[in-house]
Amino acid sequence: MSFTLNDFDYHLPEELIAQKPAEPRDHSRLLVYNRETGEIRDDFFYNIGNHLPEGTSLVVNNSKVEKCRLLFNEGRVEVFVTKAVNDRVVEAMVRPGKRFKVGKETELADGVTAKTVHIAEDGIRTIELSHPLHDPKLEPHKYTPFPPYIERDESLSDRYQTVFAKDLGSKAAPTAGLHFTPELLQKLENRGIQKKEVTLHVGLGTFAPVKTDKIEEHIMHSEWFQITGEQAEALNNSKSITAVGTTCVRVLESAPKVKGEFQASSGETDIFIMPGYTFRSVDHLITNFHLPKSTLLMLISAFAGFDEVKKIYEHAIAQKYRFYSFGDAMLIL
């Protein structure tokens, strides 16, 4: 079956867009969907251990969010760094675009300038900064890259990191992991459910919008991932795999396997998972509720079923679940 972009649209009341995370983290709500029975259950995230299969491994993304959003002139000028080519040359989304023309040097603040070297077809600029990214002059201008549907509140920057974040490099949080606390992870470990780590630095591949009507024509941006030898061995010894978030799905489904076993690997992945995809490595999935027409919603629809996800989302909206990055979670079994 061929899908169009509008097939993944839905109406969400604005009041269901979460502006702040649950407090404590694990007190967000949890929708549990069983693919075998079609049953939907409502619970809270701190009870997730009651629903996870015995002995499953929780695979989490340990990437840490960078303060990659640079704001100048009281926020009227923005350089959102999507990739650092080196310490002074970056690829970035900019605002307003008319100030960043090829060959033009733009004054940002305090003697800091940016020269636009190239503009890609998708509008991404290659920019040469007058000062290195780690220069103290840039520090006051660095902000957490909250999504545009969340009001900017730097006091929430720590809550936009998972408790297991360690490897700096993401441009957005792997949000399914935001629900876990150290105490909950310990409770799960006591039940034989252990955390395994992989890395995917979240970038445009995760949050860039789809602009083609035929979704198969969408071109994914690549994102860097890694599975170490130790991590691969732990995954191969897992009874089953529960991916925490779509970024972990992208890692696990991109990683090479030999005779059905994960191998140590790292590199770029541009995998695009849509309905019709056959999963090789993920048994269960913990995820948030995603934006309409997004590649994330398409991935969830591939995992749970297109019609089933429509039913799940209708239930979540009717029950007033909180949506998007700081919102509630669901477990797909």
pLDDT tens figures, 84-129: 999 999 999 999 999 999 999 999 998 999 999 999 988 999 999 9
Predicted confidence (pLDDT) at residue 208 exceeds the cutoff of 90: no
> Residue 205's pLDDT band (boundaries 50, 70, 90)?
confident
Ordered by where they begin, the domains of the chain are 5-65+154-332 (3.40.1780.10), 69-143 (2.40.10.240)
3-state secondary structure 98-160: HHCCCCCEEEEECCEEEEEEEECCCCCEEEEECCCCCCCCCHHHEECCCCCCCCCCHHHCHHH
Cβ neighbours of 223 (radius 10 Å): 24
Strands 125-129 and 142-143: unpaired
d(CA 45, CA 48): 5
pTM of the model: 0.95
Q: Pick from 168, 181, 332: which is nearest to 246 by CA?
A: 332
d(CA 329, CA 321): 9
Strands 223-227 and 29-33: unpaired
Query: What is residue 206's predicted lDDT score, i.e. its pLDDT?
Result: 87
Mean residue pLDDT of the chain comes to 96
Segment holding 77, helix H or strand E: strand 77-84
Predicted confidence (pLDDT) at residue 1 exceeds the cutoff of 80: no
Residue range 22-75, pLDDT digits in tens = 999 999 999 999 999 999 999 999 999 999 999 999 999 999 999 999 999 999
Q: How far is CA 315 from CA 31, 32, 46, 65, 311, in A?
A: 9, 11, 21, 31, 6
